[in-house]
Amino acid sequence: MSSGPINSKEGKVLHPDLLNENLKKTQYAVRGELFLKAEELRQAGREIIITNVGNPHQLGAKPLTFTRQVISLCAAPFLLDHPEAAKIFAPDAIARAKELHKAFNGGVGAYQDSRGNTHVRAEVAKFIEDRDGVGPADPNHIFLTDGASPAVRLCLNSILRNENDGILVPIPQYPLYSASIQLLGGTLVPYMLDEDKNWAMDMASLQAAVKQARADGKAVRGLVFINPGNPTGQCLSYDNLKELIKFAYDEKIVLMADEVYQENIYQDERPFVSARKVMKEMGEPYASGVELLSFHTVSKVNVSGVELLSFHTVSKGTGGECGLRGGYVEMNNIHPKTVEELYKICSINLSPNGVGQVAMSCLVNPPKPGSPSFEQHKQEREAELASLRRRARMVTDGFNALEDVSCTFTEGAMYSFPQLKLPAKAIAAAKAAGKAPDVFYCLRLLEETGISTVPGSGFGQAEGTFHLRTTILPREEKMAEFVSKFRDFHEKFLKQYK
Amino acid sequence: MSSGPINSKEGKVLHPDLLNENLKKTQYAVRGELFLKAEELRQAGREIIITNVGNPHQLGAKPLTFTRQVISLCAAPFLLDHPEAAKIFAPDAIARAKELHKAFNGGVGAYQDSRGNTHVRAEVAKFIEDRDGVGPADPNHIFLTDGASPAVRLCLNSILRNENDGILVPIPQYPLYSASIQLLGGTLVPYMLDEDKNWAMDMASLQAAVKQARADGKAVRGLVFINPGNPTGQCLSYDNLKELIKFAYDEKIVLMADEVYQENIYQDERPFVSARKVMKEMGEPYASGVELLSFHTVSKVNVSGVELLSFHTVSKGTGGECGLRGGYVEMNNIHPKTVEELYKICSINLSPNGVGQVAMSCLVNPPKPGSPSFEQHKQEREAELASLRRRARMVTDGFNALEDVSCTFTEGAMYSFPQLKLPAKAIAAAKAAGKAPDVFYCLRLLEETGISTVPGSGFGQAEGTFHLRTTILPREEKMAEFVSKFRDFHEKFLKQYK
């Protein structure tokens, strides 16, 4: 028998009591109790209105034709010069697939550089340059990943050293952050978004959070912000971003900019602006004036400039290619030797998936005006965006029409996050059932209507307030049903408990 | 300024000196100095003979037609009922794509269950059942992942709690294991494979390693074995696996069976046999007689049975779909609540990529006799396997024909791992150049011939011995060139230093 530390229990080494502590402590609400209950009902034959996960294709969103033509051809290189293929695929899709197939050196079935294919990284750099208009991005500081989530985890893994390292995370937050920080053994330092100001970043709350964390002996090393917000749907203003960048510079904190919803904007007052653009336009000492350093030529180290990590994905936007798992992190003002360390860690996993990289190529380098697929591609994206805008309005208005519900407008992203003023009797009933009040509400909603949401407690919310998150993704023809079912349930619920 | 722990250096929070310690300490030789040098030469226009990574398509291996037809169609659902598509795609490929498209509920662009699509997991379970002939596998204990590497890391993450937890890893080993264990903060406990016995598992070495580790205060929680071996190419015998399972049972250690090369067998004496099959055939108390438990109905916990995690992938075999990133872990006798914990962790990443899952479906459920694609698919796989077998022989014979080189036959997998008896003068020259002798040799080989290999020190080797790893993947028409270039270099090298 073992003479070392306790190694098994009830005959099991992998006994649930003997697993990694951080892994055990990790919570992940988006696929928590509500999700599992919805699965159970679905398997029992109930029709479920899925609004708990931002997964557009599952609800009938169609993929973009150009993207899928290119992927289809890259997957079947024997079609690239097939005479019949020209009858099915657009000529520019064929041309792009040929270009990528060649650049991939063995095609999508070959491992690429662990940072992602060089050609696609150059396309991403060009996209960022064109988007921001503040000069070139460095392809060697762009890593392609299997969706944005692994990119976030990679960066957190480098930042977090132990439980004394803290990361500022907005409340409410997307639970990728709380889960990853816990799994990696760091500390989440919460800062509150201001619901009364449409979930704006509140600099006073940020400053207070840092001060408190430091008083508790934490090194505050990173700050996550999500723009447009998840689950809160707000778009940050240019001025808000300026304050944030100044704050990061003054306090020496790495900015982690979750910008995966940058295409999902449903109002005209605050178009998406990247943190990178704002930072560059602020000039020194925020922007860093040092020219880009190429990989493996560490000649000069930036001492100025805000350390900024930006994340993007093919999962959201109007393409909604969640299942393809394509994402990237772009690094600004990160020490070149640190970039090397991250490259080393990527290498353990050998290569991000090839198809996700092809999808990324199509996202960042869509058909140009005059090319055969241009009009259709443009029309598909615009139609989906316009529909999402209408749905954002329908959902928000639907919630605001209800008694004791208030909901800020979904300015961007894919979610509504209404606040529910729950009656005291409902809170007592929840307590009696051993549930948090918002969980109690959402479970009842699910059981009675089939609408599957995520309780606000999964994202964090101000003490004593209750929310839930829905996506705005049911197709428009389904949306009226969603709104009316929700209303009927809510009225019944209030009647019972008020 | 910060008043907590040291948070920045030279103006950088992400200063290379201030990163996560485990991340810094992690090494990954397959993409280490030799790889980077090869990249540098390639970018400078040198022709590189790539034998450092098992990446068949990069060297001209063709994907399997059926698999790629199915993927191409799943990527382009608008082709599924397209009249022209029937002229290009086989009817059974169209039928399979329709089946998967439906099962994927939104197609490959939709997030699937975090454990992978239910339909594909059932196909994997059937494959395992048919392969082993020892009863059914439980789809709920099969998780699909983005290649086998993330599956290995997921399991290690649950096993390893701190630096006092050890994992037995063969030496030589595939550096995924050393890198992941370091990154997760555990301890690698090496056990030596016996080169004189064709790299067999040496039970005495295993026992000695466990004893020593325990004396050092380590809990030995896991044991990795690679069958067929990487980088060593051996196939384990049935009896060797029996000893191993008995050892794991007696010592209470979780078995991690890296069986990703199970299709790559180049001799007839020892066909692949899975650890699961051997375990089940050993009967109680190794096999566990408790019937399968379904997820979320923890009615009864197995106290008997060896905890066994088996890994497989679409990257190897005759398909060689490295870039698609499809893999799985199958869990046997793992506590159901632990399986739940792993499910929770998978959820953070939402979903493995859809195309990798389609490739997995095609791997585990290939066209059946009588179906339109059957003959071609069978022929493609057999031709590739026969060619790999010839190449295994050519490479091994080529090495054994050289003075001071000995190489066990590549019985399986994709690699040869010859031992080099380096002259004292070469060792001295290496020392003078500040390089390990095998690194010195491999760098010279690369510079003079363009042949890119990995030094044995990247995998671990017995003290005072030197090896290198090559793949057997250059196409046959290139193989003669590889062998003759290697020979010429080696003779010149010996002449210089002997």
Is residue B356 located within the same domain as residue B384? no
Cβ separation B147–A13 shorter than 8 A? no
Residues 6+ apart with CB under 8 A from A105: B58
Give the pLDDT of residue A2: 44
- In chain B the first and final C-alpha atoms are separated, in Å, by 62
The whole-number pLDDT of residue B303 equals 57
Q: How confident is the model at residue A298 (pLDDT cuts 50, 70, 90)?
A: very low
* Residues whose CB is less than 8 angstroms from the CB of residue A154 and which lie 6 or more positions away in sequence, other chains included: A143, A145, A329, A342, A345, A346
| Same structural domain, A414 and A300 | no
SS3 A237: coil
Q: CATH code at A421?
A: 3.90.1150.10
> Taking a contact as any Cβ pair under 8 Å apart, which residues of chain B between 34 and 73 contact chain A?
36, 40, 53, 55-60, 63, 65, 68-69, 71-73
| B114 and B254 in a common domain | yes
Average pLDDT, chain A: 93
Q: pLDDT by residue (tens digit) across A198-222?
A: 999 989 999 999 999 999 999 999 9
Domain termination residue (choose one: A364, A386, A417):
A364
Q: What is the DSSP string of B189-257?
A: EEEEEEGGGTTEE-HHHHHHHHHHHHHTT-EEEEEEEESS-TTT-----HHHHHHHHHHHHHHT-EEEE
* pLDDT exceeds cutoff 70 at B410: yes
From the list B18, B28, B58, the residue facing A106 with the nearest CB is B58
Range of the structural domain that residue B470 is part of = 16-60+378-497
β-strands A165-171, A187-194 pairing: parallel
Confidence label for B53 from pLDDT (cuts 50, 70 and 90): confident
A246-255, A342-351, B150-159, range with the lowest pLDDT: A342-351
Interface test with B, best of A353, A358, A362, A363 (most B CBs within 10 A): A353
| pLDDT on residue A490 | 98
pLDDT, average across residues B309-332: 98
Provide the β-strand partners of residue B31: none
B76 part of a folded domain: no
Residues of A within 8 A of B108 (CB-CB) are 323-324
A237 touches chain B (CB under 8 A): no
| A58 contacts B106? CB cut-off 8 A | yes
CATH number for the domain including B271?
A: 3.40.640.10
- pLDDT > 60? residue A3: no
Domain annotation covers residue B329: yes
Is residue B299 located within the same domain as residue B401? no
| Residue of A329, A203, A172, A365 lying closest to A257 (CA atoms) | A329
With bands split at pLDDT 50, 70 and 90, how would you rate the model's confidence at B292?
A: very low
At A118, which helix (H) or strand (E)? helix A118-132
**In chain B, what residues touch A247 (CB-CB under 8 Å)?**
none
Least confident interval from A379-388, B294-303, B316-325: B294-303
How far B144 CA lies from chain A's nearest CA (Å)? Answer: 13
Asked if A282 and A328 sit in the same domain, the reply is: yes
User: Do B404 and B350 share a structural domain?
Assistant: no
Mean pLDDT of chain B: 93
Q: Closest to A13 (Cβ–Cβ): which among B72, B84, B221? A: B221
A14 touches chain B (CB under 8 A): yes
Question: Euclidean distance between the first and final Cα of chain A, in Å?
Answer: 62
The per-residue pLDDT for range B195-210, each reduced to its tens digit, is 999 999 989 999 999 9
How far, in Å, CA of B333 to CA of B319, rounded? 30
* Model confidence pLDDT, tens digit, residues A89-148: 999 999 999 999 999 999 999 999 999 999 999 999 999 999 999 999 999 999 999 999
- Is the per-residue pLDDT at A297 higher than 90? no
pLDDT at B149 over 80: yes
Is residue B7 one of the residues assigned to a domain?
no
Q: How far apart are CA A455 and CA A434, in angstroms?
A: 15
CB A440 within 8 A of CB A450: no
* Residues B295, B154 share a domain: yes
At A292 the pLDDT is 42
Cβ atoms of B295 and B339 within 8 Å: the answer is: yes
User: What average pLDDT does the segment B16-31 reach?
Assistant: 88
With beta carbons under 8 A apart, name residues in chain B contacting A334.
12, 14
Residue among A285, A138, A238 nearest B11 (CA): A285
What are the two backbone dihedrals, phi and then psi, of residue B98, each rounded to the nearest 5 degrees?
-60, -45
Cβ contact A53–B322 (<8 Å)? no
> What 3-state DSSP class applies to B418?
coil
Distance CA B177, CA B156 (A): 9
Quick check: is A7 in a domain? no
Same-domain status, A359 and A382: no
Nearest residue, CB atoms, B12 vs list A59, A160, A307 = A307
Structure tokens, A141 = 């500081």
Q: Quick one: what percent of chain A has pLDDT higher than 70?
A: 96
- A 400-439 → B contacts, CB under 8 A: none
pLDDT of amino acid A36: 85
Chain-chain contact of A75 with B68 (C-beta, under 8 angstroms): yes
| B419–chain A nearest CA distance, Å | 25
| A-B contacts (CB, under 8 Å) | 360
SS3 content of chain A, % helix, strand, coil (to 5): 50, 15, 40
Q: Does B228 touch chain A (CB under 8 A)?
A: no
Is B452 in the same domain as B350? no
Residue B239 has pLDDT above 50, yes or no: yes
Which sign, positive or negative, has the C-alpha torsion A456, A461, A467, A470? negative
Contact check, Cβ <8 Å, A16/B341: yes
Residue B117 lies in a domain: yes
In a domain, B52, yes or no: yes
A319, A333 Cβ separation under 8 angstroms:
no
CA angle A71, A74, A76 (to 5 degrees): 110
User: At which of B315, B334, B364 does a domain end?
Assistant: B364
Query: How many distinct structural domains can be found in chain B?
Result: 2
Rounded to 5°, the CA angle B15-B16-B19 comes to: 85
Q: Which of A364, A395, A413 is the last residue of a domain?
A: A364
Percent of chain B exceeding pLDDT 70 equals 96
pLDDT at B324 over 90: yes
Per the CB < 8 A criterion, the answer to whether B67 and B321 are in contact is: yes
Q: Is B373 within a domain?
A: no
How would you class B376 by CB atoms within 10 Å of its CB: exposed for 0-12, middle for 13-18, buried for 19 or more? middle
Composition of chain B by helix, strand, coil, percent to 5: 50, 15, 40
Which amino acid, A120?
V
Q: Using an 8 Å CB-CB cutoff, list chain A residues near B12.
A: 301-303, 307, 334-335, 338
Cα separation, A485 vs B325, in Å, equals 41
User: What is the phi-psi region of residue A303: left when phi exceeds 0, alpha when psi lies from -120 to 50, beta otherwise?
Assistant: alpha
Do B331 and B456 lie in a common domain?
Answer: no
What is the per-residue pLDDT across A58-82, written as a single tens digit (0 to 9) for each?
A: 999 999 999 999 999 999 999 999 9
Q: Answer yes or no: do A354 and A399 share one domain.
A: no
Chain A residue numbers with beta carbons less than 8 Å from the beta carbon of B252 are 1-2, 7-8, 11, 13
Q: B123 and B200: one domain?
A: yes
Q: Name residues whose C-beta falls within 8 Å of residue A322's C-beta, 6 or more positions apart in sequence.
A: A54, A55, A56, A57, A315, B109, B110, B111, B350, B351
**Average of per-residue pLDDT across A455-483:** 94
The interface residues of chain B toward chain A in range 244-303, judged by CB-CB distance below 8 A, are 251-254, 296, 301-303
Give the nearest chain B residue to A23 (CA atoms).
Answer: B158
**CB spacing of A303 vs B107 below 8 angstroms:** no
Assign A231 a pLDDT band (cuts: 50, 70, 90).
Answer: very high
Assess if residue B97 is contained within a domain: no
pLDDT category of residue B300 using cuts at 50, 70 and 90: low
